[in-house]
């Protein structure tokens, strides 16, 4: 009767003895033991969620600034500016998207208890992220050589600011990923203890999911 | 009487909003209604206005999704013990 209507289980914590006092006039049989309340969402997970919200607003500001200059200019890209390498960056985009798949598969492998597969997939993710950064860096050198710099025009300033900020975020996520990979090799993550892996996966997924938006706006629009 | 005054004021406000020539004037961009710079600012402002709702909405949806997933995980467990709910009946009131 009591359990079908509004009873909800909220945690798996061990049972503790409750201080049982009879209701008015004694009442019926004693109530079941009370479990202590534990939060549904982990604190670290919630903190990273808030961080991602702040990062999203940061990039929204940059995108807003880009929109002002892009729409205000009758000709875009401006004349006498080097053209961006859209084809190479498209391949780079696919590499980065593949890294999001590998880290998600790694998290699933951890839930199944397959540590070796987790370590292997984290390594693939780090490799994909590193190759993304290296290819981006190589293309940047070429663009600087062709005359597109931060101070050459608003076009150059916007490009390096937006893409550079994203690249810094990918670099930071890569460092985090390497630390997580080391922890995974040491066997730190289990089916019950996976918060570090989960939060790293959230951040990585965010920087990967952000890239197609920036690519579409800066390179293609 | 006060309600009539409020209605008249609201009607006047909506009438002003309907006059696009008055409301599109921008003191910052110094542009006209059809200027490309004004279009750029409009697009940027609309985008930046919508983004906080998207971000907060995503966070809230994430929390709701996590809560429902946690409930389903716990409902699958064998020992169903109520916690944190209101005492709807005599059994639960004995604590």
pLDDT in tens, A136-151: 999 999 999 999 999 9
The percentage of residues in chain A with a pLDDT greater than 90, rounded to a whole number, is 71
With cut-offs at 50, 70 and 90, classify the pLDDT of residue B22. Answer: very low
Across the strands, what pairs with A23? A26
Across the interface, of B41, B43, B81, the residue whose CB is closest to A9 is: B81
Alpha-carbon separation of residue A183 from A42, A117, A120, A199, A205 (angstroms): 19, 14, 13, 14, 19
Q: Bigger pLDDT: B42 or A173?
A: A173
Mean pLDDT over residues A111-127, rounded? 95
Residue pairs spanning A and B at CB distance below 8 A: 132
pLDDT for A98 equals 97
Ranges of each domain in chain A: 43-220
With cut-offs at 50, 70 and 90, classify the pLDDT of residue A65. Answer: very high
Q: Does A35 contact B43 at a Cβ distance shorter than 8 Å?
A: no
Look over chain A and give the mean of its residue pLDDT values, rounded to a whole number.
87
- Shortest CA distance from B56: residue in chain A: A53
B4 CA to centre of own chain: 30
Ranges of each domain in chain B: 27-76
Q: Does B82 contact A32 at a Cβ distance shorter than 8 Å?
A: yes
With cut-offs at 50, 70 and 90, classify the pLDDT of residue B77. Answer: low
- Among the CATH numbers 1.20.120.80, 3.20.20.140, 3.30.470.10, 2.40.128.110, which is that of A43-220? 1.20.120.80
- The CA R_g of chain A, rounded to the nearest whole Å, is 25
Residues 15..34 of B with a Cβ closer than 8 Å to A: which?
A: none
ipTM: 0.73
Mean pLDDT over residues B70-95, rounded? 58
Q: What is the DSSP letter of A16?
A: B
Which residues on B lie below 8 Å from A25 (Cβ)?
Answer: none
pLDDT for A5 equals 47
Pick from A103, A208, A126, A119: which is nearest to A174 by CA? A126
Which residues on A lie below 8 Å from B41 (Cβ)?
Answer: 68, 72
């Amino acid at each position: 009767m009591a359990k079908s209507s509004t009873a909800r289980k909220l945690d798996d914590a061990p049972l503790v003895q409750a201080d049982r006092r009879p209701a008015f006039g004694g009442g019926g049989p004693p109530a079941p033991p009370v479990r202590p309340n534990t939060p549904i969402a982990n604190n670290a997970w919630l903190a990273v969620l808030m961080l991602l919200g702040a990062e999203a607003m940061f990039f929204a500001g940059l995108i807003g600034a880009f929109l002002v200059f892009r729409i205000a200019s009758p000709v875009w890209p401006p004349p006498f500016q080097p053209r961006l390498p859209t084809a190479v960056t498209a391949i780079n985009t696919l590499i980065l998207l593949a890294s999001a798949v590998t880290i998600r598969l790694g998290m699933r492998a951890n839930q199944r208890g397959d540590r070796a597969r987790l370590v292997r997939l984290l390594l693939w993710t780090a490799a994909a992220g590193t190759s993304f950064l290296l290819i981006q860096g190589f293309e940047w050198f070429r663009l600087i050589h062709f005359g597109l710099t931060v101070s050459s025009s608003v076009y150059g300033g916007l490009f390096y600011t937006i893409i550079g900020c994203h690249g810094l975020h990918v670099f930071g996520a890569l460092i985090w990923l390497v630390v997580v990979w080391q922890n995974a090799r040491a066997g730190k993550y289990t089916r019950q203890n996976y918060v570090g892996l989960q939060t790293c996966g959230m951040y990585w997924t965010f920087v990967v999911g952000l890239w197609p938006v920036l690519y579409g706006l800066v390179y293609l629009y | 009487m006060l309600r009539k005054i409020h209605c008249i004021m609201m009607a006047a406000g909506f009438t002003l909003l309907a006059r696009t020539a008055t409301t599109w004037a921008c003191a910052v961009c110094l542009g006209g209604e059809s200027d490309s710079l004004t279009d750029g600012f409009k697009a940027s402002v609309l985008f930046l206005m919508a983004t906080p709702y998207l971000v907060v909405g995503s966070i809230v949806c994430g929390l709701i999704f996590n809560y429902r997933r946690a409930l389903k995980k716990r409902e699958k467990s064998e020992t169903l013990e109520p916690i944190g709910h209101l005492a709807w009946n005599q059994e639960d009131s004995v604590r």
